[in-house]
A and B are shown apart, each in its own frame.
Chain A
Amino acid sequence: MQEDRNTPWRSALRQSMKPKERTAIERTKMNELDGDYRSRNSEEVNLGLTEEQAVIEAKRCLDCANPSCMTGCPVGIDIPGFIKNIERGEFLEAAKTLKETSALPAVCGRVCPQEKQCEAQCIYVKMGKQPVAIGFLERFAADYERESGKISLPKMAAKNGRKIGVVGSGPSGLSFAGDMAKLGYDVTVFEALHEIGGVLKYGIPEFRLPNKIVDVEINNLEKMGVKFIKNCIVGKTISFDDLKAEGYEGLFVASGAGLPNFMNIKGENLVGVMSSNEYLTRVNLMHAADDNFDTPIVRGKNVAVIGGGNTAMDSVRTARRLGAKRAMIIYRRSEEEMPARLEEVQHAKEEGVEFMTLHNPIEYIGDEKGHVVAMVLQKMQLGEPDASGRRRPVPIEGAVETIPVDQVIVSVGVSPNPLVPRSIEGLAVSKKGTIEVDADTMQSSIPTIFAGGDIVRGGATVILAMGDGRKAAAAMHNFLQEK
């Protein structure tokens, strides 16, 4: 997808500044709300870059002949292509370049773990410098386009009238739907919940990804002809056979990993202990923190969030915003092994979140009414690396402490949701409950069914889910053309 870097404007741009001058520029800082102020509301923390900041940051990019950043991107975005468009002030062009490969640039610019992907591969890192702020620039271009009101729709192939169904409206389903619509298919997305967007709506909080940004992306897909049906569970409300009978020629299952894991320790079913999915769904999807809505939420004062991933950070930062005096991350490894994005960890700290690393809960203690009042923590130390390559946490014998808590949010991963795989007969499912697919085509054991995202991966990132959607769209298109 890489644009020719030798087009005249780009060559000229490259020569307009010496590499030394470019590398001398300091990496820009994201403008953000003050930590104390924002820990009391749901306003978006990151404010984005100004045009001036973006252009300066774009100048840092050396427009490498072999851009290694692109190898770090799961969907292979033309990174220097969009950045150089920012440098020359063609912000709408930059957004267009992004949208050739990414269905949701405004989302990815906000939630991708860039420091582990594109930015980790940036040439600056090899020079011992801070990488180009690719994520900030991606967000800038996408936001600029949205705010300009001049949102470009991708080139659309002529409609072919062939019906395709998508199960789930999260990042994987949306990117698949966009690509298939572009190819001319008649796409309908079926969503189980009453809102479109999947984890982007029920999971990721407003302060990190405002709903209005997701809605703009959904509106664009609608403009491209994608239909959305809410409150409809394929396999329950309508069967796979019903869809076939209605003329659907292909189905993409992207139903997500919506089954929270628990640790199976004593006291985990006490009142006040809940999954991060429940906590975040109540606040984000059901607006439980808003008094005008009926769904209740308990505002914990001493809140412990178990886990070190992005969902754990989202939960603990939400707890602060709902008035927790003490909001703690309890993580069994050290900070270095934490899977959360660096930025989320930093933001959480700035908002007053306590980090209790190398601690693992082994029991929750309840009062006479069955409400959690304390947790027992086992202190850990790091041992030899395990299968994941991270050093294995080992309990320190006898090092146990009890801490008062009135709310515990368990955020130790999710398993594939069994609803859809269970209801399609003959669909090959792994022992873990993920749908088995061909890694290159995302095609399942039933040739007309493709699958991607967390229902295949068991718990991954927005960008990987989107990548699956794109891969599946290309492969299903090939499959249907040959049919």
Chain B
Amino acid sequence: MNRIVEKEYFSANVVKIVIEAPLIAKARRAGHFVIVRVDEKGERIPLTIATSDTEKGTITLVVQKMGVSSTKLCNLNVGDSITDVVGPLGKATHIEKFGTVVCAGGGVGIAPLLPIVEALKKAGNRVITVLAARTKDLVILEKQIAEYSDEVVVMTDDGSYGKKGLVTHGIEEIINREKVDLCVTIGPAIMMKFVALLTKKYDIPTVASLNTIMVDGTGMCGACRITVDGQTKFVCVDGPEFDAHKVDFDEMLIRLGAYREEEMLAMEKFKNNK
């Protein structure tokens, strides 16, 4: 169970893994996530599903080395098994024909954006995707995204690929050029915060898919709670997608750092033990 059948390095710290999980592959929709526990000692971490193959019974995850558990996950090889994979969790993305949709993905957030881009395109939308990364090597899945996008705009911080600038520059250019009916954004919290600020200025409805700290991922612990429109919500059962204009991103950023010290100490210990 949960055997890794394929592994690909997108960059030194970002890995794509394809896992045998037939039940999840069959049940999952765009927007769903899984909780993964890499081994008996591992943490439970939420990862949004990038794609699945119901015939082969596999799901694809894109993982970035962040803490000890995600690093251990990235270090697994084809043939290895992950101790626990549970899902699909969260509410699926609401898909309908909106008109023109701008999908903005940053870093590993591009991976969970892929199924949404695909579903929106298949529902008849004009899909313009903006992919953003620090540098060329970190722009992932461009080809797959392009397959379901009417247009792909690539933005890099250092200008090593596509246009130089932030994701918001790319989005604003499109907004100034044509009518946009919806924006979907997935990426680092700080990026989604600025995307939300921008689209709010232009009054464009915006959905953000959030990836917070979770333990069980089933509503039990409340570690993932955020404030949306003044109300506390649980990302795991009420989300992971929310109206980006109503999310308190500043609070979310603080909460994401709740265990930073412990995580750094653990990472140091992990490196020293190797």
Chain A interface (Cβ within 8 Å of chain B)?
192-194, 202, 230-233, 236-239, 258-260, 262, 264, 268-272, 274-275, 277-278, 281-282, 285-287, 292-298, 369-370, 417-419
Considering the chains assembled together, what is the distance between the CA atoms of A260 and B41 in angstroms?
25
Considering the chains assembled together, what is the distance between the CA atoms of A262 and B222 in angstroms?
9
Q: Is B64 in contact with chain A by the CB < 8 A criterion? A: no
Q: Is B7 in contact with chain A by the CB < 8 A criterion? A: no
Knowing A232-B86, A237-B24, A259-B237 are in contact, say whether A295-B222 is a contact too (CB < 8 A).
Answer: no
Contact B27 A239 (CB under 8 A): yes
Contact B227 A278 (CB under 8 A): no
Contact B68 A278 (CB under 8 A): no
Knowing A236-B27, A237-B23, A238-B27 are in contact, say whether A269-B226 is a contact too (CB < 8 A).
Answer: yes
A-B pairs, top 9 by smallest CB distance, nearest first, are A370-B254, A296-B262, A258-B220, A278-B221, A231-B86, A296-B259, A275-B222, A294-B43, A194-B84
Q: Is B251 in contact with chain A by the CB < 8 A criterion? A: yes
A251 to chain B, nearest CB (A): 17
A107 to chain B, nearest CB (A): 20
CB-nearest residue of chain A relative to B217? A192
Contact B251 A269 (CB under 8 A): yes
Contact A259 B219 (CB under 8 A): yes
A293 neighbours in B (Cβ, 8 Å): 41
Task: Flag B74-99 by CB within 8 Å of A: 1 or 0 each.
Answer: 00000000011111110000000000
Chain B interface (Cβ within 8 Å of chain A)?
23-24, 27, 37, 41-44, 67-69, 72, 83-89, 215-216, 218-223, 225-227, 232, 234, 237, 251, 254-255, 257-259, 262-263, 266
Considering the chains assembled together, what is the distance between the CA atoms of A293 and B237 in angstroms?
26
Knowing A281-B216, A281-B220, A298-B262 are in contact, say whether A194-B232 is a contact too (CB < 8 A).
Answer: no
Contact B232 A268 (CB under 8 A): yes
B259 neighbours in A (Cβ, 8 Å): 296, 298
A193 neighbours in B (Cβ, 8 Å): 86, 216, 218
B89 neighbours in A (Cβ, 8 Å): 233, 236
B37 to chain A, nearest CB (A): 6
CB-nearest residue of chain A relative to B226? A269
B24 neighbours in A (Cβ, 8 Å): 237
B10 to chain A, nearest CB (A): 23
Considering the chains assembled together, what is the distance between the CA atoms of A440 and B251 in angstroms?
47
A480 to chain B, nearest CB (A): 26
7 A–B contacts, CB within 8 A, in A order = A193-B86, A202-B216, A239-B27, A262-B222, A277-B221, A278-B222, A296-B43
A271 neighbours in B (Cβ, 8 Å): 254-255, 257-258
Considering the chains assembled together, what is the distance between the CA atoms of A259 and B217 in angstroms?
11
Contact A233 B218 (CB under 8 A): yes
Considering the chains assembled together, what is the distance between the CA atoms of A319 and B258 in angstroms?
18
Interchain CB contact (< 8 A) of A419 among B27, B37, B219, B251: B219
B84 neighbours in A (Cβ, 8 Å): 194, 230-231
Considering the chains assembled together, what is the distance between the CA atoms of A87 and B64 in angstroms?
63
> Which residue among A272, A282, A285, A296 has the maximum number of chain B CB atoms within 10 Å of its CB?
A296
CB-nearest residue of chain A relative to B91? A422
Knowing A236-B87, A271-B255 are in contact, say whether A295-B215 is a contact too (CB < 8 A).
Answer: yes
Given A236-B27, A285-B215, A297-B262, 14 more pairs with CB closer than 8 A: A202-B216, A230-B84, A232-B86, A233-B218, A236-B87, A238-B23, A260-B221, A274-B222, A278-B222, A294-B41, A294-B72, A296-B259, A296-B262, A419-B237
CB-nearest residue of chain B relative to A191? B86
